[in-house]
Amino acid sequence: MLEKGIKGMKETVVTEALTAKEMGSGELSVYATPAMIALMEETAYKSVAGELEDGEGSVGTLMNVEHVSASPVGMKITCKTELLEVDGRRLVFDVEAYDEKGLIGKGRHERFIIRNEKKKKKAEEKLGEI
């Protein structure tokens, strides 16, 4: 049952591939904002995936976060999410990321529950419209 309060957690380690320099979002070899956002999205979607009906998934529709502290290569990153609101098919999450020294990012993330095959078909139909 999909109810507010569901929590998620995922860890990763900053590698060169996850740096701003390598991802094209900056010049420094520190944890990239796009990598942090991807971790937040993954943690949120996986936290509720087991509560959805067969054939359903969720897609990210909004991400509003602050990246407040840099993390060097080799540092462990922990992401935590909590489902704050279930409004029909709209899900609202609190998202936070920490390195071993403290908070590095925080914000809100919204997802929308979809029928996987229907969404896939709709996306593929765009190719025929070009």
Per-residue pLDDT of the chain (130 residues; tens, 9 = 90+): 799 999 999 999 999 999 999 999 999 999 999 999 999 999 999 999 999 999 999 999 999 999 999 999 999 999 999 999 999 999 999 999 999 999 999 999 999 999 999 998 988 888 887 7
Domain 7-128 has CATH 3.10.129.10: yes
pTM of the model: 0.94
Residue 56 pLDDT: 96
Q: Are 32 and 38 in contact (CB under 8 A)?
A: no
Residue 39 pLDDT: 98
What burial letters (b/e) apply to 8-33, b meaning 16+ CB within 10 Å?
bebebebeeebbbeeeeeeeebbbbb
Sign of CA dihedral 108, 52, 115, 46: positive
Nearest-angstrom CA–CA distance, 43 and 56: 17
Residue 128 pLDDT: 82
Q: Ramachandran region of residue 21, left (φ > 0), alpha (ψ -120 to 50) or beta?
A: alpha
**Burial class, 70, CB count within 10 angstroms (exposed 0-12 / middle 13-18 / buried 19+):** middle
